[in-house]
Structure 1
């Protein structure tokens, strides 16, 4: 008797759950198709030049902001930056820097790394990296300091109103979260 009741109930539950799943899948597919068509039209026919990557970042960020303030999207650069911060390793000049208003300011040159060896000091303002004048550079200029280990980069910087130039050789930099010392 119980089998006669349980079997139809199970069949109804399976039918209802698969039907709602198919309905959700159809709705998602329809919305993605609408978005894709709109995205293509904007990129091909918009009156001004568009950057597809920026449009996609904006669309994803707006969609997630509508959910809650805790769900965020990180693009490739942000993922790489988080990886560097969490692992404590990167290849560059060996200094903590702050980028603001088309200027890079040295916050702290790490002891024993290229920035320290070249004599850079906290407060030095980098105004030119290689042939790139930072006052004209639109992207994240801090990325220009990073590069393969062993490659050279020329920096022009200001210190107390005087302009100086130095040549650095990038190295693999390993940062320790907390300096360790021991009392013997």
Structure 2
């Protein structure tokens, strides 16, 4: 059995050595370390108080190795890999909550708008103590995701703790199909369009293009407000293509990794560009990765005014590497840089106009209403969760460290086509403009930038 363990580890070594091995470490040292690991596994199998599952132990070791790198690298079982494919295609079954592990605690990053978690009032920063009575302290992130997902119509109870509560509270959520409609839009006023992009998936650029065309049919476009608040990112190429819609030339984002194959530059094209109207982009602490690519590109090219609060600060790129039998490796392989060459890793995009969610509070207060700042903090004085707060995050080499503070649902034809939709009938925009200080300020700014606004 020891020989079997060693052969398995050699196989892992052959896959991972080019990615993980210290270039200055001799091959013989690595083999000795692997043999030590094999010896530990053998002793566990021979002497542990209960019989062990060898696959489970080895998977745990792989997860531990990846967790030591950064918060975004992870091993994906075949089930995890399938879930990822479902999400990027636009739908999954669950409760609709983005989660992460912060300081060893399973933590809500942001509820997905309009989902069971959002409707029940789950907030960013909530500590998820239990899932269906099972403690989450020893769960991996993927294990927690699998427990939250399940068949449509089934219930899951999560135990939440917030700093302002004396005791944890239970929330029972009914799982449902979570359609990740990434683009929604409406007119705030004639000629002034509002477009909400909630994530970047396979159809986002196409849907955004269609939304822009539909808004243009109603009135001459005087300005566009692009809302990227609480957008956690998604597909890199879609983020670059979204930025390309609003630029006719220049670099959008550059990707730099250790190998030449990981060096890429995305540039804008003149075709299908929307450059004849002013723009304001809304961001906050929940705007991450792809959102930061779009905001950074349009900020550097002075194509849009960025308004809101500092973004999450995820400036790294993850590559999905397939493994045998349907498993996969999500590995951080590069960092991305804005057109001016700046890295936003652990620092984020600083808006041109710093505007809090509420006019009477300089912190990003939480809210249960959709499309607002609900995904950035808990409430009151709770701390905003950003990349720099995650254990083991990559440092920004360009900044002085001291300055850096389920089962798959079969969709109906209508659901398949409804990748984007108007929100005229879904949102009470007048009420939202009164309650949402960022949105209200953004519209005022947008009107002042338009030709009609400058003439007044």
* TM value normalised by structure 1: 0.58
Deviation per residue, 1:7-36 (Å, 9 max, x gap): xxxxxxxxxxxxxxxxxxxxxxxxxxx859
Corresponding position of 1:159: 162
Partners of 2:61 and 2:107 lie apart in 1 by: 33
Instruction: Describe the shift of the 1:53–1:118 C-alpha distance in structure 2 as closer, same or farther (beyond 3 A).
Output: same
Instruction: Describe the shift of the 1:50–1:167 C-alpha distance in structure 2 as closer, same or farther (beyond 3 A).
Output: closer
Greater helix content: 1
Instruction: Describe the shift of the 1:50–1:161 C-alpha distance in structure 2 as closer, same or farther (beyond 3 A).
Output: same
- Equivalent of 2:179, from 171, 174, 180? 174
Corresponding position of 1:26: none
- Cα deviation, residue 147, structure 1: 1.1
- Cα deviation, residue 50, structure 1: 4.4
Does the Cα contact within 8 Å between 1:95 and 1:115 map onto a contact in 2?
A: yes
Instruction: Describe the shift of the 1:56–1:155 C-alpha distance in structure 2 as closer, same or farther (beyond 3 A).
Output: closer
Partners of 1:156 and 1:59 lie apart in 2 by: 28
Larger Rg computed on CA atoms: 1
- Cα deviation, residue 115, structure 1: 0.3
Corresponding position of 1:108: 110
Deviation per residue, 1:147-171 (Å, 9 max, x gap): 1110111121122331322211011
- Residues 79-118 of structure 1 mapped to structure 2, 5 A cutoff: 79-118=81-120
Instruction: Describe the shift of the 1:89–1:46 C-alpha distance in structure 2 as closer, same or farther (beyond 3 A).
Output: same
- Equivalent of 1:147, from 150, 156, 170? 150
Gaps of 5+ in 1: 1-33, 61-72
Gaps of 5+ in 2: 9-41, 63-74, 184-196, 198-207, 219-456
Corresponding position of 2:55: 53
Partners of 1:138 and 1:147 lie apart in 2 by: 17
Partners of 1:130 and 1:155 lie apart in 2 by: 6
Corresponding position of 1:30: none
Instruction: Describe the shift of the 1:128–1:47 C-alpha distance in structure 2 as closer, same or farther (beyond 3 A).
Output: closer
Partners of 2:108 and 2:61 lie apart in 1 by: 34
* TM value normalised by structure 2: 0.26
Partners of 2:161 and 2:118 lie apart in 1 by: 16
* Count of matched residue positions in the alignment of Structure 1 and Structure 2: 139
Partners of 1:132 and 1:122 lie apart in 2 by: 21
Partners of 1:58 and 1:77 lie apart in 2 by: 16
Partners of 2:81 and 2:87 lie apart in 1 by: 10
